[in-house]
Structure 1
Amino acid sequence: MTAEAARPRRRRGAAESLASIVLAFESVVAFLGGLVIYGLRALPDGVEPWWGIVAGTIVAVLMIAAGRFVRYRWGIVLGWVLQLVVALGAFLVPALAVVALVFGGMYAYATIKGAALDRRNARLAASEDS
């Protein structure tokens, strides 16, 4: 038996689970947003269009990484920074404003309501132990 098999899995809270799911799905949309920026040649003159694909890929990878670290406070903050990056993309492609509103709202719900659920579950677990 390996050491990994003997160790129990860490229990994840609602905020961590929900936030990581939102960021994972949004990473696909961020990559596709980069393709849209490339296809529409929405970058300013002098900037090669393929930088749109690069930017979309970087944001998508950062979202996946942030989803792994949302158990920490800085991981949640990184998720919010990435939401801001997507919102700023609306200056290049206005349709990204809709993406920012939808996924920003879902991320807000995941982090705020998920934390409330975690506090409630902790309170219920503490009252069961008493």
Structure 2
Amino acid sequence: MSDQTPGDPDAPAKAPRARRQRSLRESLGSIVLGFELIVVFLGALVLFGLKSLPAWIALGGGAVVVLLMIAAIGLMRNRVGVVLGWIVQLLVVAAGFLVPAFFIVGAIFTAMWTYCMIAASRIDRNNRTEIR
């Protein structure tokens, strides 16, 4: 019996852990929410800098929406993440009542989110039936 240290080149290699296969809906949803997160964060900073809203509303509201997006990204494998993503889309569009520019931002991201959810779900469903 030989003493093998963890860095020993003669030690048998561990098999790499298999990664979970992500669905297309999960991947595309995470991408859209990730980009939207950056835009909402920067938008909150702009609102604070321009003093369009009180600081606690601009920064606090932006932080809440950003945290909801992070939670939705983490939960995208479940239906809860998708529902949370829809809620985030509604919040960003509703922010347009505070600052009209968010109507445009919300419309763009809601359109991308809607397309990704519909198209990716259809592709995932087709891929599942092909595998069977």
User: Shorter chain as normaliser: what TM range?
Assistant: 0.7 to 0.9
In the alignment, structure 1 residue 96 sits paired with structure 2 residue 106: no
Equivalent residue, structure 1, for 2:7? none
More contact order relative to length (CA 8 Å, sep ≥ 6): 1
Cα distance in 1 for partners of 2:85, 2:62 equals 15
Cα distance in 1 for partners of 2:87, 2:112 equals 15
In the alignment, structure 1 residue 65 sits paired with structure 2 residue 75: no
Match of 2:115 among 91, 109, 112: 109
Q: List gaps (5 residues or longer) in structure 1.
A: none
Q: TM-score, normalised by structure 1?
A: 0.83
Cα distance in 1 for partners of 2:49, 2:104 equals 19
Cα distance in 1 for partners of 2:94, 2:22 equals 31
Cα distance in 1 for partners of 2:71, 2:16 equals 26
Equivalent residue, structure 1, for 2:60? 54
Cα distance in 1 for partners of 2:33, 2:86 equals 10
CA RMSD of aligned residues (A): 1.9
Q: Which amino acid aligns with 1:40?
A: L
Match of 1:16 among 26, 29, 33: 26
Residue 33 of structure 2 aligns to a residue whose secondary structure is helix
Cα distance in 2 for partners of 1:23, 1:62 equals 10
Q: Deviations over 1:55-112 (max 9, x none)?
A: 2122123212211211111110000001111111101110111110110011111111
Q: Which amino acid aligns with 1:24?
A: G
Q: List gaps (5 residues or longer) in structure 2.
A: 1-10
Between Structure 1 and Structure 2, whose CA radius of gyration is higher? 2
Identity %: 46
Equivalent residue, structure 2, for 1:38? 48
Residue 55 of structure 2 aligns to a residue whose secondary structure is coil
Runs of 4+ deviating beyond 2 Å = 39-43, 48-51
Q: TM-score, normalised by structure 2?
A: 0.82
| Number of residue equivalences | 120
